[in-house]
Chains A and B, each alone.
Chain A
């Protein structure tokens, strides 16, 4: 299945009180199973993927198509079945964002998107090893 930019139309679930379940944890945090998606600021661009068990564990994330409209990750049958995603509208996709120490550049990890089933709220981080997406894609910005 090819994820089209239509995915961006799937609503995120900001400030929702029902957690997202990552039953296998995520790479680097195998015990982090339960997350909330919280808006960073009200503009809806960046969210925090906030671990429920550990208040200090929160990753900056964003919907990739806001910055990379041509991004088209392919979800394997295994992941599709594992997540119970039957239609594109079922999938909510967001990617980790890193902010450089000097805070004048940000990067998005397009190789490791988070995919969540909007109906079941079950998600996993997909490692797209063979699809040639950058691990650190610089987020484009306007020059002030």
Chain B
């Protein structure tokens, strides 16, 4: 990891289009400004990592798919907008 020391008001440039500026340092917190192209998503790392972990948890490999079908049937889901599916293996 590249480590740089910056003061409030100083910036870091990444590539040609991303500028990260330290706006304020107070107590244990640092306020950071990010200038980046509009189509570049900027997230707090912990939030992004949570969404990433949920995606990984939602993955079902091809051979496990029948288990998921059984699990969803077993739950006998009753959504307000849909008729519950009849479990096929009862």
Contacts and interface: CB of A to CB of B under 8 A. Distances in A.
Contacts of B62: 55-56, 58
A28 B82 contact: no
A60 B68 contact: yes
B51 A109 contact: yes
B47 A99 contact: no
Contacts of B38: 78, 81-82
Chain A contact-residue range equals 35 or more
Given A48-B65, A96-B54, A43 B82 contact: yes
A65 B81 contact: yes
Interface residues of B, number: 41
Given A58-B60, A58-B65, A135-B50, A24 B41 contact: yes
A1 interface: no
Nearest to B87: A144
A139 interface: yes
A40 interface: yes
Nearest to A139: B77
B19 interface: no
Given A59-B55, A67-B77, 7 more contacts: A41-B73, A45-B77, A46-B72, A55-B62, A78-B38, A111-B50, A139-B75
Interface of A: 8, 24, 26-29, 40-41, 43-46, 48, 55-61, 65-67, 69, 78, 81-82, 96-99, 103-104, 106, 109, 111-112, 125, 127, 129, 135-136, 139-142, 144
